[in-house]
Amino acid sequence: MTTPASRTPTTAARLLPAVSRLLPGAARTLPGAARRRLTRIAFGWALVAVAEAAAYTTLTWAIADGQPPGPVLGAAGAAVATTVLVSRAGYLTGARLAGDLYDTLGTTFARARLSWFTETNRALVRTVAGRAIPTLMSVPAHQLQTFILPPLIPLLLLAGVGIVGGPSAMLFVGALLAVAFVAQSLAQRALARADADRGDAEQAAAAAALEFVDHLELLRTAAGPERAVARLMATWQAQEAAFARTNNASAPATLVSGLAAALPLAGVVVLLAATGTDDPAAALALVVLTGRAAAPLDALALAGLTVNDLRTTVRQYRTVATAPALPEPPRSAPGKGYGLELAGIAHPPVLRDVSALVPEGSRVLITGPTGSGKSTLLNLLMRFDDPEQGRVTLGGAALTDLRYEDLAAHFAYVPQDPIVFDGTLAGNIRLGNPAATDDEVLEVCRTAHLDTVVTRSPHGIHQQVGHQGNALSGGERQRVALARALLKNAPVLVLDEATAALDATTERHILRALRQRPGTVIAVTHRDTADWDATVVITLRGNASPPTA
| Last residue in a domain, options 287, 321, 355 | 321
**Looking at the structure, do residues 316 and 376 belong to the same domain, yes or no?**
no
Query: What digits encode the pLDDT tens for the residues 281-325?
Result: 888 888 888 888 888 776 765 665 577 778 888 888 989 998 998
Q: How confident is the model at residue 359 (pLDDT cuts 50, 70, 90)?
A: very high
Q: Is the dihedral of CA 469, 379, 373, 538 positive or negative?
A: positive
Reply yes or no: is the peptide bond before residue 349 cis, omega within 30 of 0.
Answer: yes
| Last residue in a domain, options 290, 321, 352 | 321
Residue 546 lies in a domain: no
What pLDDT, on the 0 to 100 scale, is given for residue 86?
Answer: 94
Q: How far is CA 277 from CA 61, 168, 280, 283, 440, in A?
A: 17, 14, 7, 7, 93
Query: What digits encode the pLDDT tens for the residues 477-512?
Result: 999 999 999 999 999 999 998 888 788 888 888 888
363 vs 530: which has the higher pLDDT: 363
Q: Is the dihedral of CA 148, 154, 160, 166 positive or negative?
A: negative
**Looking at the structure, do residues 109 and 243 belong to the same domain, yes or no?**
yes
Residue 347 has pLDDT above 50, yes or no: yes
Give dist(CA 174, CA 157) in Å, integer. Answer: 10
Residue 189 has pLDDT above 80, yes or no: no
541 vs 27: which has the higher pLDDT: 541
**Looking at the structure, do residues 25 and 91 belong to the same domain, yes or no?**
yes
**Looking at the structure, do residues 428 and 490 belong to the same domain, yes or no?**
yes
Give the mean pLDDT of the chain: 83
Give dist(CA 252, CA 270) in Å, integer. Answer: 26
Average pLDDT over residues 248-263: 76
Query: What digits encode the pLDDT tens for the residues 115-165?
Result: 888 888 888 998 899 888 998 888 898 888 888 888 888 888 888 888 777
CATH of the domain at 92: 1.20.1560.10
Residue 521 has pLDDT above 90, yes or no: yes
Q: Is the dihedral of CA 430, 436, 437, 440 positive or negative?
A: negative
Domain enclosing residue 376, as ranges: 340-539
Burial (0-12, 13-18, 19+ Cβ within 10 Å), 229: middle
Residue 545 lies in a domain: no
Q: How many CB atoms lie within 10 A of CB 356?
A: 22
pTM: 0.66
**Looking at the structure, do residues 500 and 471 belong to the same domain, yes or no?**
yes
What pLDDT, on the 0 to 100 scale, is given for residue 300?
Answer: 64
**Looking at the structure, do residues 262 and 402 belong to the same domain, yes or no?**
no
Q: How many CB atoms lie within 10 A of CB 174?
A: 17
- Among 303, 186, 188, 201, smallest CA distance to 244 is for 201
75 vs 110: which has the higher pLDDT: 75
What pLDDT, on the 0 to 100 scale, is given for residue 79?
Answer: 92
Q: What SS3 state is found at 355? A: strand
**Looking at the structure, do residues 405 and 520 belong to the same domain, yes or no?**
yes
Residue 334 lies in a domain: no
Give dist(CA 286, CA 281) in Å, integer. Answer: 9
| Last residue in a domain, options 268, 289, 321 | 321
Give dist(CA 168, CA 285) in Å, integer. Answer: 15
The tally of domains found in the chain comes to 2
> For the ranges 109-118, 389-398, 473-482, which has the lowest average pLDDT?
109-118
CATH of the domain at 369: 3.40.50.300
Residue 329 lies in a domain: no
DSSP letter, residue 139: I
DSSP 64-133: HHT--SHHHHHHHHHHHHHHHHHHHHHHHHHHHHHHHHHHHHHHHHHHB-GGG--HHHHHHHHHIIIIIH
Q: What SS3 state is found at 538? A: strand
**Looking at the structure, do residues 345 and 263 belong to the same domain, yes or no?**
no
Q: How confident is the model at residue 2 (pLDDT cuts 50, 70, 90)?
A: very low
Residue 434 has pLDDT above 90, yes or no: yes
**Looking at the structure, do residues 285 and 365 belong to the same domain, yes or no?**
no
**Looking at the structure, do residues 41 and 103 belong to the same domain, yes or no?**
yes
Q: How confident is the model at residue 458 (pLDDT cuts 50, 70, 90)?
A: very high
Residue type for 65, please?
D
**Looking at the structure, do residues 303 and 426 belong to the same domain, yes or no?**
no
Q: How far is CA 499 from CA 90, 451, 452, in A?
A: 54, 17, 17
What pLDDT, on the 0 to 100 scale, is given for residue 393?
Answer: 94
